[in-house]
């Protein structure tokens, strides 16, 4: 059981289109016909289908895959080469004791239902509902998927429900993964878009779509990671990197709103542009808070609802679990010849707010168990007195009693967050009525502010009034290394733009094996406070060993790898009349032998990782990072994962003003599966 816990070049586009709401512009471009306000919902022995004048979706009852996704006469799924290509959207999950990837099917007992009606605005809608009971024969386990289409829209509104009721087996297994996927095949789409700042040309062929059919010239170097640098005329290689991996397109969820695929017209029938997008108009039914990170698009368009790719907490499946996730929006759009990715992305992003679709969701709530309607929600606000130096501050409402990263421990709780403005004001709308923990963090400030007992009432404005955050302190700060922002991006190979490719991706987004720690730091990391450069002299990952990559296949061990040195000079007055020193280390991610699984085992020695600090030769008690705080940050192209911290205390008699002081930061020697990413370090005395 788990423990709780440089954009592409942008051509000058015409004015952005909103393909849902600006039909006159589409008519002027010849990209839409006059609507007949006709929504069709049909069922046969083998299919369910929803369509209106612009889109057509067909769901195969045998496989639960959509096998036709047509916008303005163009099938965006492309050309299938077998039964598992050119499919989707569809739902799959890893949620049984077998821990295999499960897709519902009629053969396994899935049932399918078509619904239709008229919403409160008089707009016709239809819905396709799949229900899979007793997954893999497990009594009480249920997976349901809901897709709704409204007339006049080119979007599917989607919800996913999972339930487990079996008192005789109160704990079933870990809920490892839940997602929906759109899996096109063929050349139509040309670009991948993670967010407004990170979008790239798609490799051709793209091995991530299906490595058994689309590998091309590529060498596998890690899971879903290939060296493709010896390709010729590949736009990704020419513009982005020699390595391609799905992890390069991941994102944290704090500001994430939309991701998807863009077709620039090169391979469309009339050279017009198309987009296929996942839009997050809500995030309250996800877990992990704003620092949760996951895959977005890699040739497939994902909606990751639950996963541990970067070591984020996932829930236990226990008797009584019943949660409906969503809504999210699967949106299709169509632009003119020469139109830009920005143009279609902006259209999709216009839906990424909590009020979009809210009345419609109330109208169809009769079909969606557990959906929290508008009448069951309220608004929360507060005025936060932030510490001096705070920036980019955020307020989070999450499960009471738990770190927001561990809100999986309460599978009935929802989560919300919002930026705190320059005047300290924050407001969050459409909050599910109930009790919450308030957490606040900000760039530049060590530690989080935690405030329990926030109660939001349905239909009311809950104002918590003035809240003062006094930043944590253990005395006088002598120095800090890094910026406390829950990220290792400021260090070498972090956020620094890659200088070798014209799109200059942040270096951390490129496969870790593209860099050679041994050459970068031949004598190890020796950082001098006040003299060294964080972006050059402090690596973004602290490895215990290095190697095992295509570039350096041999694994190198040595004390200059697992031991780093931070040195500093002090004046007499810095430590005069002081007795206690405190070294605070905030970690942006830690990999123990548990990797991203959060599962304990005795097969390897460091599922619980001892991290040791020595002050001028005095070893301090180790910080034991538990297996359920482990993540796969370094190996999966991220600089923010499950964050944790520790305060190392010691007598200031360990320090000196007559010579250079040395801190040694140590991982176990020759521990092949472990590493840490630093957020920031600070030394204080009192």
Question: What rounded mean pLDDT belongs to the chain?
Answer: 94
Beta-bridge mates of residue 556 = 546
SS3 of residue 596 by DSSP: coil
Cα four-point dihedral sign 519, 523, 525, 529: negative
CA atoms within 13 A on the CB side of 657: 10
CA distance 311 to 579: 39
Instruction: Give residue 36's pLDDT.
Output: 42
For residue 15, what pLDDT is reported? Answer: 32
pLDDT confidence bin for 181, thresholds 50/70/90: very high
Nearest residue to 186 via CA among 76, 310, 98, 275:
76
Angle at 49 between CA 47 and CA 54, to 5 degrees: 150
Q: How confident is the model at residue 19 (pLDDT cuts 50, 70, 90)?
A: very low
In this structure, what token pair is assigned to residue 46?
Answer: 């083998």
Partnered with residue 563 across adjacent β-strands are 666
Using CA atoms, how far apart are residues 146 and 88, in angstroms rounded to an integer? 13
Please name each of the domains of the chain with its CATH number: 43-200+259-367 (2.70.98), 374-468 (2.60.40.1120), 476-685 (2.60.120.260)
Q: What is the reported pLDDT for 80?
A: 87
pLDDT at 642 over 90: yes
pLDDT of residue 212: 83
Residue 30, CB-side half-sphere exposure with 13 Å CA sphere: 4
Q: Which of 19, 299, 329, 349 has the alpha carbon at shortest distance from 195?
A: 349
Calpha distance 684→476 (Å, rounded): 5
pLDDT of residue 37: 52
Render pLDDT for 33-47 as a digit per residue (tens, 0 to 9).
Answer: 334 458 999 999 999
CB 278 within 8 Å of CB 259: yes
Q: How far apart are CA 9 and CA 501, in angstroms?
A: 13
Contacts of 517 (CB under 8 A, 6+ apart): 539, 541, 543, 546, 561
The model's pLDDT over 290-341, given as tens digits with 9 standing for 90+, comes to 999 999 999 999 999 999 999 899 999 999 999 999 999 999 999 999 999 9
pTM of the entire structure? 0.93
The residue behind tokens 């069951």 is 376
Distance CA 369, CA 143 (A): 12
For residue 204, what are its two tokens? 């051709």
DSSP 3-state of 328 = strand
Residue 572: phi and psi, rounded to 5, are -55, -45
What span, in angstroms and rounded, lies between the C-alpha atoms of 388 and 598? 36
* CA dihedral of residues 62, 63, 65, 67 (deg, nearest 10): -60
CA-CA distance, 293 to 274, in Å (whole number)? Answer: 27
* Size of the chain, expressed as the number of residues it contains: 686
CA pair distance 349, 110, nearest whole angstrom: 34
Question: How large a percentage of the chain has pLDDT more than 90?
Answer: 92
Beta carbons within 8 Å of 519's beta carbon, 6+ residues apart: none
* The predicted structure's pLDDT at residue 406: 97
pLDDT value at residue 122: 98
Nearest Cα to Cα of residue 128 among 150, 109, 112, 142 = 112
Between residues 26 and 473, the one the model is more confident about = 473
Average pLDDT value for residue range 633-656:
98
Mean pLDDT lowest among 81-85, 206-210, 422-426: 81-85
Residue 6 clears pLDDT 60, i.e. is over it: no
Q: Percent of the chain having pLDDT more than 70?
A: 95
Task: Please report the pLDDT score of residue 28 as a whole number.
Answer: 32
Residue 466's φ and ψ, nearest 5 degrees, are: -85, 130
The yes-or-no verdict on residue 387 having pLDDT over 50 is: yes
Q: What is the per-residue pLDDT across 67-100, written as a single tens digit (0 to 9) for each?
A: 999 999 999 999 888 888 999 999 999 999 999 9
Residue 659 CB-density burial (10 A; 0-12 exposed, 13-18 middle, 19+ buried): exposed
Q: What are phi and psi of 613, to 5 degrees?
A: -115, 135
Check: CB of residue 569 under 8 Å from CB of residue 285.
Answer: no
């Amino acid at each position: 059981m788990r423990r709780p816990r440089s954009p592409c070049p942008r051509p000058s586009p015409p004015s952005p289109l909103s393909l849902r709401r600006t039909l006159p512009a589409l008519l002027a471009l010849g990209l839409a016909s006059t609507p007949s306000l006709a929504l069709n919902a049909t069922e046969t022995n083998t299919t369910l289908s929803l369509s209106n004048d612009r889109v057509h979706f067909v769901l195969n009852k045998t496989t639960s895959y959509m096998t036709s996704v047509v916008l303005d006469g163009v099938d965006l799924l492309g050309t299938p080469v077998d039964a598992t290509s050119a499919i989707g959207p569809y739902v799959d999950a890893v949620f049984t004791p077998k821990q295999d990837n499960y897709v519902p099917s009629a053969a396994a007992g899935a049932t399918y239902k078509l619904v239709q009606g008229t919403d409160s605005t008089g707009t016709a809608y239809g819905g396709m509902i799949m229900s899979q009971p007793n997954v893999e024969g497990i009594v009480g386990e249920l997976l349901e998927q809901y897709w709704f289409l409204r007339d006049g829209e080119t979007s599917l509104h989607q919800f996913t429900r999972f339930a487990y009721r079996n008192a005789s087996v109160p704990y079933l297994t870990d809920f490892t993964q839940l997602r929906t996927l759109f899996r096109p095949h063929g050349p139509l789409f040309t670009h991948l878009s993670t967010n407004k700042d990170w979008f790239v040309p798609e490799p051709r062929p793209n091995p991530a779509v299906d490595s058994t059919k689309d590998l091309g010239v590529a060498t596998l170097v890690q899971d879903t990671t290939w060296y493709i640098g010896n390709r010729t005329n590949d736009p990704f290689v020419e513009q982005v990197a020699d390595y391609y991996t799905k992890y390069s397109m991941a994102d944290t969820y704090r500001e994430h709103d939309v991701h998807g695929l863009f077709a620039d017209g090169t391979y469309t029938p009339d050279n017009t542009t198309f987009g296929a997008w996942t839009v997050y108009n809500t995030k309250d039914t996800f877990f992990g808070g704003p620092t949760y990170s996951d895959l977005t698009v890699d040739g497939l368009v994902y909606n990751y609802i639950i996963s541990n790719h970067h070591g984020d907490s996932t829930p236990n499946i226990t008797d009584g679990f019943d949660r409906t996730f969503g809504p999210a929006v699967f949106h299709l759009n169509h632009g003119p010849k020469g139109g830009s990715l920005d143009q279609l992305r902006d259209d999709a992003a216009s839906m990424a707010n909590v009020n979009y679709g809210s009345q419609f969701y109330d109208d169809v709530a009769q079909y969606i168990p557990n959906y929290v309607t508008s009448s069951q929600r309220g608004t929360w606000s507060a005025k936060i007195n932030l510490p001096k130096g705070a920036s980019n501050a955020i307020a989070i409402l999450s499960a009471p009693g738990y770190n927001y990263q561990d809100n999986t421990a309460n599978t009935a709780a929802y989560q919300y967050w919002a930026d705190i403005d320059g005047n300290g004001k924050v407001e969050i709308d459409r909050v599910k009525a109930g009790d919450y923990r308030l957490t606040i963090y900000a760039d530049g400030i060590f530690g989080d502010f935690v405030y329990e007992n926030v109660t939001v009432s349905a239909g009311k404005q809950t104002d918590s009034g003035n809240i003062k955050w006094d930043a944590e302190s253990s005395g006088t700060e002598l120095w800090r290394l890094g910026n406390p922002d829950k990220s290792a991006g400021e260090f070498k190979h972090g956020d620094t733009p890659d200088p070798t490719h014209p799109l200059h991706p942040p270096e951390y987004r490129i496969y870790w094996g593209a860099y050679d720690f041994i050459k970068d730091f031949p004598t190890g990391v020796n950082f001098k406070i006040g003299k060294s450069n964080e972006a050059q002299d402090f690596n973004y990952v602290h490895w215990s060993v290095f190697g095992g990559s295509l570039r350096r296949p041999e694994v190198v061990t040595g004390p200059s790898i697992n031991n780093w040195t931070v040195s500093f000079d002090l004046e007499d007055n810095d430590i005069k009349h002081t007795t206690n020193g405190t070294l605070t280390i905030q970690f942006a991610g830690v990999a123990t032998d548990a990797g991203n699984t959060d599962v304990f085992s005795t097969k390897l020695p460091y599922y619980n990782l001892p991290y040791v600090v020595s002050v001028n030769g005095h070893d301090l008690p180790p910080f034991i990072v538990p297996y359920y705080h482990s993540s796969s940050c370094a190996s999966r192209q991220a600089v923010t994962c499950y964050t944790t911290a520790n305060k190392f205390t010691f007598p200031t008699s360990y320090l000196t003003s007559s010579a250079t002081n040395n801190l040694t930061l140590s991982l176990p020697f020759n521990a092949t599966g472990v590493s840490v990413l630093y957020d920031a370090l600070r030394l204080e005395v009192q």
